Amino acid sequence: MTRKLLIPATVACLLGGAASQSIGQGVMIERAIAAPARQEGLVRVQMSIQLFVMGPTDESEAADRHRERARRVLYELAAKECDLMRDVIARDCRLESINVNLNRQMTPQMQGYAVNGSMAYQITLK
């Protein structure tokens, strides 16, 4: 007899706990959805690129110029990306961060730098 009462009581406790959890989650989801509406169309855009630039990798002046040219390519790309987004989807664009990595690559066939870059932008949608 006690066993028959214990099982429904246990099920009711478990279901009651689950019901209160889903209500709590519903409130949290509601808050998460409501927050972007206050931002008036602000969107964060991230971009990453990988390329290889052939050239000298030693410590010479020519290699210094080569490394500078590789970084310049990414910086110019970062600036042009804002222009592209303004043409297509953005009313305003701001570069938030940029990360550039150069990794020396030397094989018997070629030498140069593997260039990796990542950029983060904040845009206002049109």
| Domain ranges within the chain, ordered by starting residue | 1-38, 42-125
Q: Which residues contact 62 (CB under 8 A, 6 or more apart)?
A: 55, 56
> Strand runs (DSSP E) across the chain, as ranges?
42-54, 90-106, 111-125
pLDDT, residue 68, reads: 96
pLDDT over 70 percentage in the chain: 69
Average pLDDT over residues 11-29: 38
Which pLDDT does position 85 carry in this prediction?
96
Give yes or no for residue 30 having a pLDDT over 70. no
Q: Which CATH architecture has domain 42-125?
A: 2-Layer Sandwich (3.30)
More confident residue, 44 or 2: 44
pLDDT tens for each residue of 80-109: 999 999 999 999 999 999 999 999 999 989
Let me know: does 57 contact 106? Beta carbons within 8 Å.
Answer: yes
Task: Give the pLDDT confidence score for residue 41 in this predicted structure.
Answer: 83
Tokens of residue 112, six digits = 């140069």
Predicted local confidence at residue 1, as pLDDT: 52
In this prediction, residue 60 carries a pLDDT of 95
Per-residue model confidence (pLDDT) at position 39: 57
